[in-house]
Amino acid sequence: MTHYLGIDIGTTATKTLLVREDGKVVAEASCSYPLEQPKPGWTQQDPEDWWKATVQTVREVMSKSRVAATDVGALGLSGQMHGSVFLDKQHRVIRPALLWNDQRTEAECAEITTRAGGRKALIRLVANPALTGFQAPKILWLRNHESKAFAKLAKVLLPKDEIRRRLTGDCVTEVSDASGTLLLDVVKRRWSKTLIGKLDLDPDLLPQVVESEDVTGTLTADAAEALGLTTRCKVVGGAGDCAAGAIGNGIVRSGILSTSIGTSGVMFVHCDQPQYDTLGRLHTFCHAVRDQWHMMGVNLTSGGSLQWWVENILAASLAASDTAGTDKLYKRATEEAEAVAAGSGGLLFLPYLNGERTPHADPSARGAFVGLNLTHGRGHLTRAVMEGVTFALLDSLEIIRSLDVNVKEIRASGGGSRNRLWRQMQADIFGTAITTLTVEQGPAYGVALLAAVGDGTYKNIQQACRDTINVAEKTPPNRKNTKSYQALFPIYQRLYTHLQQDFADLTAQANASS
């Protein structure tokens, strides 16, 4: 039986799956790596760490499964979106890669908007406004702030496509990930020559762009030896992590929306045709489904907020309570939160720990607890963090609903689907049932299915999802809790408005003292 690899180059780790042609996961492995934060709001990584993690995890799944190298027909690549890998003419990395959650490019976003002829004109060109996370502002930042490095620049790749280059020797991307560069004509699914010209960039900096299921090459002899595979192994386009995760959840037809809580939070809905939020609060990107699109709202610090709270703040006090190990820390924290009623006793949390994207597009936004009183304990604060993250997702869902996008079913994935309390909380806050799947493997599974399509096992990705993905259960909302959350949500929304200028002033003060 033919097998397929799905490799997801994440922000904190690379995850690799080995999947049989019938969709069964045979083996999986993960390898973590560090994140550099040289200044507040700056994030970067060494691409070499991604390559080492790719080699380690592929070799590990092959060893665990005992599948012959000749039985691996193709692999698919997924990864954190928007990051910028800067290469010279010899394809050597010039500097650490700037990541999706890096906030240093606010001035470059303004420059892009001006050069494009204004926000509305920019959205007409590439379907999205300029945001600090996107790749185009990072290229301009390099030009504006590191001129010597920019003078060496010959190619800019997204994270997963740097791994593709190491695998095949070719510089290629695909439409879903390319949509997040701000340089793709999303409607026509090709690079926007108009915007590239307005920004005075060399079109040759960008790789070839293909559809997500297209075969982009085969492994070089060196790559095959490093991974323990063969040079007959194909490499397909793959997808950015959000589109890949949606494929893995079966979001390949209209009417289905996915909510994902990982490091970031994503509301992702399939569209048969390009649909726009004229205010630019949502992204409109090419889907990893051929000739289809999607809309997406993104919160920068969703699961990351709970991780910060539990591991940085609660860890000491929970460890003092004889709770050992990270998993036990989260279990204890969740139990304490579950003992608190919906609404956390009038306590709200804004999860803007590293700026925010949807709906505010504000790199200066910051996190806050509001409403603290002497009756609040650890459980109240933990629950408030989880509720605040879910309210942030509701911001996106409300925009999607206001645009009359067809939403018949919501599927949950990521950590928010595996945590029973958080799953129920989503149902209560969204006011609708939440569906989970029998197996939820995320982006790596989605690109393994794309590899199977590219290799000819399935006619298209819709057939692959239909044959391999099954619904497990539905979590209905608790109507009493929903009523409480409906009263709290407008207050949550007003808090950002009240604090926006204070956030900007505090951020400026922090930057001045760093």
Structure tokens at 312: 């940085």
Q: How many CB atoms lie within 10 A of CB 418?
A: 13
**Rounded CA separation 7/96 (Å):** 21
Active site (annotated) includes residue 241 = yes
36 with 44: CB under 8 angstroms? yes
Q: Considering 185, 241, 428, 455, which one is annotated as catalytic?
A: 241
Residue 305 exposure: Cα atoms within 13 Å on the Cβ side: 32
Give residues with Cβ within 8 angstroms of 113, minimum separation 6. Answer: 119, 122, 129, 130
DSSP state string for 147-205: HHHHHH--EEE-HHHHHHHHHHS--EEEHHHHGGGT-EETTTTEE-HHHHHHTT--GGG
Structure tokens at 342: 């919906």
C-alpha closest to that of 164 among 97, 79, 49: 79
What are 298's strand-pairing partners? 266
SS3 content of the chain, % helix, strand, coil (to 5): 45, 20, 35
140 with 105: CB under 8 angstroms? yes
456 with 464: CB under 8 angstroms? no
C-alpha closest to that of 392 among 246, 260, 257, 254: 260
**DSSP state for residue 93 in the 8-state scheme:** B
**Rounded CA separation 331/187 (Å):** 45
97 with 34: CB under 8 angstroms? no
* H, E, C per residue of 252-301: CCCEEEEEEECCCEEEEEEECCCCCCCCCCCEEEECCCCCCEEEEEEECC
Give residues with Cβ within 8 angstroms of 80, minimum separation 6. Answer: 9, 10, 11, 99, 100, 159, 160, 241
Ranges of H-type helices in 339-478: 378-402, 415-418, 420-430, 443-454, 461-468
Ranges of H-type helices in 324-408: 326-338, 378-402
**Rounded CA separation 459/466 (Å):** 11
C-alpha closest to that of 275 among 290, 289, 286, 288: 286
Instruction: Report the catalytic residues.
Output: 241
